[in-house]
Amino acid sequence: MQETTFLILTALAGGSQHGYGIIQDVGRISADRVRLRAGTLYAALDRLDADGLITVDREQIVDGRLRRYYRLTADGRGQLAEEAERLRASAAAALTRLSALRPGTATAFIRSCDPRPGLAGGAL
């Protein structure tokens, strides 16, 4: 899965959003590393919709213009979960090996990735 696709699905995992909202959310999720533009976003939304990973949740007319809200489908949730797990496993493998090179550095980072309550969390 391409990073853009992953980020868009991640944005929609937080609830239905319209195009501009997705762009802003992807910026937040990626710490402003990825800045989506309209051409890339709508080519991706069109493909994800055709593949059944997202669907139109509702439509509004705002200032005379159509605003369409998208949400994840069950397939979309499944694929995002699979991809997130794959990325977690890959990152863990990389960090484990790095920790062998530089003891301490990677271990702390792995802890920060642990989603269990009470631990610093959620970088991945």
Partner 1 sequence: MGPGRGAAHLELERRYRRVLRLYPREFRARSESEMLGVLMASAPDGQLRPARADVTDIVRGALIVRLRGPRDGWVSALAAFSLLAPLFLVMTDVLQVVFPYRVNITGLTRVLDGTATLVPLRGMAGQVGGIQLLSQHGFLLLAAGHLIIAALVVAGLRRTALAAMVVVAAVDLIQWGSFGIPIRMPYSVQIVTITVFVLEAVALAVSPGPRAGRRLVRWRYAVPVVLLAASMQACALMVDGNRLSPFGRTVLSPGSYLVLAIAFAVTGLVVTLAFGLGWRVCLLLAVMCYPALVYTVVNYAAFGFTYAGVAYDPVKDLTNYSGSPQFAALHVAILYLPPLLVAWWAAARVARPHPIGVVLEHGEVAV
List for the chain the helix, strand, coil content (%; round to 5): 60, 15, 25
- Provide the minimum distance between the beta carbon of 9 and partner 1 in the complex, in angstroms, as a whole number: 18
CB 25 within 8 A of CB 6: no
Q: Provide the token pair at 87.
A: 């990325």
CA distances from 47 to 10, 13, 43, 51, 112 (A): 16, 17, 6, 6, 34
- Subset of 50-79 contacting partner 1 (CB under 8 A): 50, 62-63, 65-68
Is 87 one of the binding residues for partner 1 (CB under 8 A)?
Answer: no
The SS3 assignment for 34 reads: coil
In the complex, minimum distance from the CB of residue 83 to partner 1, in angstroms, rounded to a whole number: 21
19-38 residues in contact with partner 1 (CB under 8 A) are: 19-20, 23, 37-38
CB of 80 to partner 1, least distance (A): 21
Min dist. Cβ of residue 44 to partner 1 (A): 9
CA–CA separation, 9 and 14 (whole Å): 9
Binding site for partner 1 (CB under 8 A): 18-20, 23, 37-43, 45-47, 49-50, 62-63, 65-68
